[in-house]
Amino acid sequence: MILVIAEKPSVSGSLSKVIGATSRKNGYFEGGGYLVSWCLGHLAEYVEPNAYDKKYERWHYEDLPIIPDTWRLAVAEAKKEQFKVLSDLLNRSDLEYIVNACDAGREGESIFRRVYALAGSKAPVKRLWISSMEDASIRDGFAHLKDSSDYDHLFQAAECRAKADWLVGMNATRAFTTKYYKRLVIGRVQTPTLAMLVERQHKMDDFVREPYYKVSLSSDGLTVASDPIKEETEANHLVQNCQGKPATVTKLEKTKKTTKSPRLYDLTTLQREANRVFGYTAQDTLNTLQELYEEKLVTYPRTDSQYITEDMAGTVQGLLTDLPKIVPFLSEIAIGDQVSRLVNNAKVTDHHAILPTQEATKTDLSSLSEKQKNIFNLVGQRLAQAVSPDCIYEETAVEVLCEGAVFKAKGKVVLEPGYQAIEDAFRSYYNKVKETDEKADIPASLTEGMELGSVQARKSQHFTSPPKAYTEDTLLSAMETAGNKKFDADTEKKGLGTPATRASIIEKLVNSGYAVRKGKQIIPTKDGMELIGVIPDYLKSAALTAEWENRLLAIERGEVSADDFIQGICNLLTMVLNGCDSIPEAERQRFDARVSIGNCPLCGKPVYESVKNFYCSDKSCRFALWKENRFLANMRKTIDKKMAVDLLKTGKTHVADLYSPKKDSTFAADLAMKIENERPTFSLSFPKTNNGKKRKVTGKKK
């Protein structure tokens, strides 16, 4: 028996149909000598610090750094049932071998191996590595299963990434939170990303708009303009000098230029384009691509390549024949066939560029959602553009001399539209206006040395423009090139995160309240700007974090050891704690808007309120009033601020709505607090009524 484990139930179902495991069981499929099950995504995760030691439930700076000696994994409660299914299957005595069929990438490798390790299985493992969910691709993948050990370095990189994120997140977050008395969430990648947003916001806020002027001359259908002029008086003087005067064409230069057809999409370029054209978030695009991939309509989404391999050229050539049938606006457009320009074996590592599949050419796409159709059409039109000829145009540069001043204009005429005909058809189909360059119309009759008659001169006022807020498009670009602002086609990109993780990083910033979306823009919040204001440069450096990502890629290639990488992260934590040790007390009070609710019954210092308790301001003091405590739990009551104030002031507080499980009703009583062994203990007393009797338990039934 062969056990196949996929990442999701939908993928498992597709694999099962191809290999003949068609009998549905509880949590798996069976048939044809195969068992096929699934992991439900990240089924096992590294445990929280308090799982290693209960003392970590409370955040104390003195407990840092937290560095597990042995890393422990745990299965989420909601996924334990499926893990039990997998564990039983992984330990069957009749297994010949196991096929890791999780997504072919860093995270897929980690998802499978964690489950395999937790289950304690000893069965041999092979790897299914495919870039398409098409039946033919699945069959070919099973016919050429890889040795699991070929991906050991990939797994090490995945685990190093997860451990690094855990170590930085858990330690730096606790360090800065306890030092500044404010929850400050630090992420290895999300914090440098937030820093880019904050830096841009500061530039926008500090920008001072300045006016400038241009003088333009018009004559015989030609308009030319001066360079920007700072002083209005100078512009006025130039208008007066030139108005009604003759001018001479001193330069008329025509140059034939070429705009190369674009490369195929990798995930990041597709996410950027989808944001520009449709306003989709990076996560929207990734989710939609994943749906199309699982429906066998596009190839593997999480790729960083924009090329195909040589052996794919014939398949892509055949795909081009049917492309106009499935992409509506291509039916009237001539598509090129220059497939060879897509081929670059050296630029394809784990996966090739995103493409439509052969299966898509045989499928009725009318049932797709609007978002799925839009993303699919983007993928299809990009393939058509990539194999089509370059756009060739003629640019005309004109210079005119008038009263000793030079005026200029540029014109552009498309000679051979090439791939741009496809881009124009795409934009026309979606009624999207193309952003065009400001190019003047140059009369065909214009010649060099030509005298222009009486010219009309006029002044126009303009203003300098502030930097633009990041959109998802431009932020993804900035993340991709964070460590290498300018690079050519042969330079390895040093980015923040990977194509597979950048969308989730942006979502974390938004969900954590550190950034917000305003239309297409992503803007840092007040909390986000405050966080970056206190974080040291090395924790928010995009270039430094991009170097860490490059080391993870080096681990994948076997060039850097996992131990060396983690030691580097531990050294980073030492820097963090050394830096926190030296934060002045005045700086630590930066966010301290606390108001004391009373004095500590142990040491007399002020007591403050937090999310979960009322705590003594002296960190060496053990006093705390927990809002949820065992004594009041059965009475369905938590300690609120008013109760805490009373308890600290007089040692008791009156509570009107305690619950009695025995009588299923509410009652009133006085809650009294005493300090025993430096900890509060509680008891109830019942105040007497006016006639001297104790009040009875009363209240409405619940």
391-402, strands of its sheet edge to edge:
451-452, 247-259, 391-402, 405-416, 222-225, 211-219, 456-463
Residue 59 is given by DSSP the state -
Residues annotated as catalytic are 300
Number of Cβ atoms within 10 Å of the Cβ of 104:
23
Number of Cβ atoms within 10 Å of the Cβ of 89:
24
Q: Hey, what long-range contacts does 678-682 have (CB within 8 A, 24 or more apart)?
A: 678/602, 678/622, 678/623, 679/622, 679/623, 680/601, 680/623, 680/625, 680/647, 681/631, 682/629, 682/631, 682/632
Task: Compute the distance between CA of residue 572 and CA of residue 554 in angstroms, rounded to an integer.
Answer: 19
Number of Cβ atoms within 10 Å of the Cβ of 557:
11
Number of Cβ atoms within 10 Å of the Cβ of 191:
27
Residue 501 is given by DSSP the state T
Q: Which residues have CB under 8 Å from 107's CB, separation 6+?
A: 42, 158, 500
Specify whether the backbone of 631 is left (phi greater than 0), alpha (psi in -120 to 50) or beta. Answer: alpha
Q: What is the largest CA-CA distance in the chain?
A: 116
Task: Compute the distance between CA of residue 69 and CA of residue 247 in angstroms, rounded to an integer.
Answer: 82
Task: Compute the distance between CA of residue 344 and CA of residue 174 in angstroms, rounded to an integer.
Answer: 47
Among the listed residues 450, 430, 431, 432, the one whose alpha carbon sits nearest the alpha carbon of residue 442 = 450
Task: Compute the distance between CA of residue 638 and CA of residue 628 in angstroms, rounded to an integer.
Answer: 5
Specify whether the backbone of 604 is left (phi greater than 0), alpha (psi in -120 to 50) or beta. Answer: left
Residue 460 is given by DSSP the state E
Q: Enumerate the β-bridge partners of residue 392.
A: 258, 416
Is the bond preceding 65 in cis, omega lying within 30 degrees of 0?
A: yes
The helix or strand, by DSSP H or E, that contains position 194, with its residue range, turns out to be helix 190-206
